[in-house]
Amino acid sequence: MSTNSGTKINRLLQQQYPGTVLLASWLKKNGISDDLQHSYIRSGWLQSIGRGAFIRSGDQVDLTGALYALQEFAGKPIHVGGRTALGMLGLSHYVELYQKETLLFAPRGVKLPEWFKNYAWETAPVLINSSAIPEAIGLINQNVKSYPVLISNPARALLECLDLAPTRFDLVEAWQIMEGLSSIRPGAVQEILEQTRSVKAVRLFLYLAEKANHPWFKYLDISSINLGKGKRSIVKNGTYISKYQITVPEVLGKLGRRVDKSERNVKFNQILWDYNIPEGDIEAVFRGQIPLAGHYDRYMLFRKILETYPWFTILQLFTPAEIQELLTNEVIEKLRVPSLRKQYEFVKLRLQEVVPITG
């Protein structure tokens, strides 16, 4: 191969982000013919990962680097959405449980190329073809390593999840996520709700938003949003919400309420069930009446609670101000599960934004 040819591919590679896939069609458009592409493979410049796709020899490429190529070079209307997008934004509570798959969304009729489907990525791509939300709304660029990838913003991602509920997405998790969406812009929410075609997703979104009592909810013009007609039974034998004409799991109706003192003590005692600690001592520690329950101080107890109960239970046990005071950096660092640390790092940041500073 001539020095000029080597310089040509080298110059072209320097223009592209490392860690991304190079498409044969894009190389050809930039003057690299099919014959020259095969020559670059033989000479060690390129490595084929399937028909029509290459990586630089020795480069480490993951699924997002392949998706970048589809979005940037092939113009494919495919984006990261649903639970995966929420995980990338730090909003999914159970991202580690689902990290073996990456949810991709595209309009009906759009397909993934064979090389993309067949390559051994670190997670399995799952393409969901849906026209529930127009492709041009609610998408943002998220930097991954050195390159941007188009993903759903929080409101769109949650709507995508709600469209899949309850068979492919748990509504209790949807509630937990909605609780964290306290600072999204009402205008952006209004726009995407008006254009969402899934009546089920829209009704669930509004129900959860109102239940979470977010400040932005009161600015929505619900009369301009298509809620469809008739009842929607999301689950059987659930709780009927007359305002939105939906039947939801009974457990949703209980979320968001504070437990009474006896229920609180039951929850507290369950975290140290194998210790001989007098009833009421844990409550007394949190109230500052005694320093220890057994050998546990209030921060050690709070860490045990975080590792035992889901987020919606934490909110039943403590006010946001109490959580903000107890959720120290040391408490977060000592959480044993990495995804839990990530979750509560995000919670801590959110609480700093929404809980007023007093004193």
Integer Cα distance of 211 and 215 in angstroms? 11
Number of independent structural domains in the chain: 3
- Over 50: is that where the pLDDT of 3 sits? no
Integer Cα distance of 137 and 189 in angstroms? 11
31: containing domain: 3-61
- Over 70: is that where the pLDDT of 93 sits? no
Residues 94 and 39 in one domain: no
How does pLDDT run across 161-215, given as a tens digit for each residue?
999 999 988 888 888 888 888 889 999 999 999 999 999 999 999 999 999 888 8
Residues 111 and 221 in one domain: yes
- Over 60: is that where the pLDDT of 353 sits? no
Residues 85 and 189 in one domain: yes
Tell me whether residue 38 is in a domain.
yes
Residues 166 and 283 in one domain: no
Residues 83 and 53 in one domain: no
Give pLDDT, residue 224: 97
Higher pLDDT, 202 or 265: 202
Closest CA to 156 of 94, 117, 103: 103
Stretch 114-118: mean pLDDT, rounded? 97
Instruction: Using pLDDT thresholds of 50, 70 and 90, give the confidence band for residue 67.
Output: very high
Give pLDDT, residue 348: 84
Residues 95 and 53 in one domain: no
- Over 90: is that where the pLDDT of 63 sits? yes
How does pLDDT run across 34-59, given as a tens digit for each residue?
999 999 999 899 999 999 999 999 89
Which phi and psi angles does 188 have, rounded to 5°?
-70, -40
Say whether pTM exceeds 0.75.
Answer: no
The one-character DSSP state at 152 is E
For 103-142, give one letter per residue: b (16+ CB within 10 A) or e. Answer: bbbbeeeeebbebbeebebeeebbbeebebbebebbbbeb
Give pLDDT, residue 181: 87
Residues 137 and 205 in one domain: yes
Stretch 274-299: mean pLDDT, rounded? 90
Integer Cα distance of 275 and 334 in angstroms? 21
Integer Cα distance of 148 and 68 in angstroms? 7
How does pLDDT run across 214-263, given as a tens digit for each residue?
889 999 999 999 999 999 999 888 899 999 999 998 878 766 656 678 88
Helix (H, G, I), strand (E, B) or coil at 144: strand
Tell me whether residue 243 is in a domain.
no
Give pLDDT, residue 256: 61
- Over 70: is that where the pLDDT of 358 sits? no
- CATH number reported for the structural domain that contains residue 16 in this entry: 1.10.10
Residues 130 and 18 in one domain: no
Using an 8 Å Cβ cutoff, are 158 and 86 in contact? Answer: yes
Chain mean pLDDT for the chain: 88
Overall residue count recorded for the chain in this entry: 359
Tell me whether residue 249 is in a domain.
no
Residues 49 and 92 in one domain: no
Of the candidate ranges 84-93, 264-273, 318-327, 330-339, the one whose mean pLDDT is the lowest: 84-93
How does pLDDT run across 130-142, given as a tens digit for each residue?
999 999 899 999 9
Contacts (Cβ under 8 Å, ≥6 apart) of 24: 34, 37, 52, 53, 54
Give pLDDT, residue 72: 96
